Structure 1
């Protein structure tokens, strides 16, 4: 990981000792040399598992908080790097998976399904996700495509749960 910190000039401007950078980099998962978004989503799994036992209002409240604070976290990290939406910034993936898993049925199968759905929508970026990703900038722009991918994934997961349970 430290090797990537020194190789990428934009990432080298960040420090894992800085709490904003640490969160923006998904606890360091965004420093993965390949597929940092996938690793950022993997880093969201323990966060989800910590939040899963909470009541639905608390879970939703913390998820909304992760999105709102994400606007700042992603914006600050992008400005510090001098690059808009650098791949190493993965807080948006963490918030996106948390959105996906709102009111999801318990079980590893549902977590896996949510993970796959979120990665599908985040990578494929169907309209309007792709349009937002291209047109909206700053911390809001970094977050909004993953928020929408999370909402699309949430809907698909809830429809699947409705018909399968």
Structure 2
């Protein structure tokens, strides 16, 4: 492989994500949350909002298809696809966990939503706030996973742990 080819697939400096970059490969489109990760401010929050909106729309519009069991299958498949898309997109952007990659937030928040369902809008909003808190603050062991698990799996895994913390916090809140 020539140096030019290596630089084309793995730039030495991270590049700026753009709509053109996102549309250049299906992995980029998925990893960047169908454009929600291109927000210039708080892309992870916008990715989570996209996850929330898409969950509500799909579940409301096609409840016979988007059942909790089917959602769990979609989430498992989305996690596996996310490992590949985030690995590829991170390599092409020159940053293994580029901020524009939000598929991890989408999959993790879908998991939260499917496990707190049925929930009204205010309960979903509470889940959103708690999830964003854990995803941004990264308490142990989330921070450990974020630092030590690299590549697509690492990108996806720390958000799954944040989803677990969110579900635990919501369960404790209900008990109290």
Query: Is this a same-fold pair by TM over 0.5?
Result: yes
Cα offsets for 1:95-144 (capped at 9, x unmatched) = 11112113313210111011111101001101000011011100001111
Q: Structure 1: which 4+ aligned runs deviate by more than 6 Å?
A: none
Shift of 1:47: 2.2
Aligned length: 156
- Give the superposed CA RMSD: 2.0
Partner Cα distance (1:60, 1:149) in 2: 17
* 2:63 is aligned with 1:56: no
Asked if the contact 2:22/2:32 (under 8 Å) is kept, the reply is no
Unaligned runs of 5+ in 2: 1-13
Tell me which structure has the larger Cα radius of gyration: 2
Cα offsets for 1:21-78 (capped at 9, x unmatched) = 1111111111111111111111111221114733322121111111111111111111
* 2:17 is aligned with 1:11: yes
Partner Cα distance (2:24, 2:167) in 1: 33
Asked if the contact 1:14/1:80 (under 8 Å) is kept, the reply is no
- Equivalent position to 2:163, from 136, 139, 150: 150
- Equivalent position to 1:43, from 35, 41, 50: 50
Unaligned runs of 5+ in 1: 1-7
Shift of 1:10: 4.2
2:107 corresponding residue in structure 1: 95
- Per the normalisation by structure 2, the TM-score is 0.80
